[in-house]
Amino acid sequence: MTPKNITAQDVLLVIDVQNDFCPGGALDVAGGDAVIAVIQQVAPRFEHFILTQDWHPAGHSSFASSHAGKKPYEQIELSYGMQTLWPDHCVQGTKGAEFHPALDLPQAEMVVRKGARPQIDSYSAFFENDRTTPTGLGDYLRDRNFTRVFLAGLAYDYCVGYSALDARRLGLQAIILRDACRAIDLNGSVAKIEAEFAEAGVTVMESADLFGPS
């Protein structure tokens, strides 16, 4: 079966298309809002959609402002390992945490809010950054008999990428729609995660491949 043969066991996972990750936001991913048109174009190919939403409390441990003398994009050691420090972003209940208004997927079956625990960050839609605490998404997909996850959104080298790797850990096929993502590319993060994709068996393809002949 080729990727373009979308079935009822496939789900489109749209990662963190929120105001704070788009131009003008607190953690602006360059060209972040450009993913929306691609997502809307491929959406009719799918029966099933799940959205994720970064949903941090104020003073979250991943914010540089929570650590005296630290600046955004520095790294520190937390209880679960190394953590990149970010500008305050996607704070619960703020406009920055809202989905971008151009994202129009009312048929989404579920919204996974992640990063809500004050002391631990969560890049992946499946596990928090300790790599063991589940969000519940894996169980949901298993219970619904989904076998393949297509991923789009922000950012390619962080939340999209970690979600794809964890999907593979859980035995799901994982396909990233590269032109439906944008990257931060912090300290070589794109090259690093693409090496992990190759090792884990994550497929990276262009959205146009969904529309080719069967």
16, 20, 121, 166: the active-site residue: 16
Q: Is 88 a catalytic residue?
A: no
Catalytically annotated residue among 10, 20, 114, 157: 114
φ, ψ at 134 (rounded to 5°): -80, 155
For residue 164, count other CB atoms closer than 10 A to its CB.
32
Query: Any catalytic annotation for residue 114?
Result: yes
Q: What angle do CA 150, 151, 154 make, to 5 degrees?
A: 170
Half-sphere exposure of 149 (CA within 13 A, CB side): 31
- Helix (H, G, I), strand (E, B), or coil: what is residue 91? strand
Question: Is 147 in contact with 174 (CB distance < 8 Å)?
Answer: no
| 159 part of the active site | yes
Q: Of the residues 10, 33, 88, 159, which is catalytic?
A: 159
Tell me how crowded residue 112 is: count the other CB atoms within 10 A of its CB. Answer: 21
CA distance 113 to 54: 6
Task: Please state, in angstroms and rounded to a whole number, the distance separating the CA atoms of residues 137 and 114.
Answer: 11
**By the 8 A CB rule, do 119 and 130 touch?**
no
Active site residues: 16, 114, 159
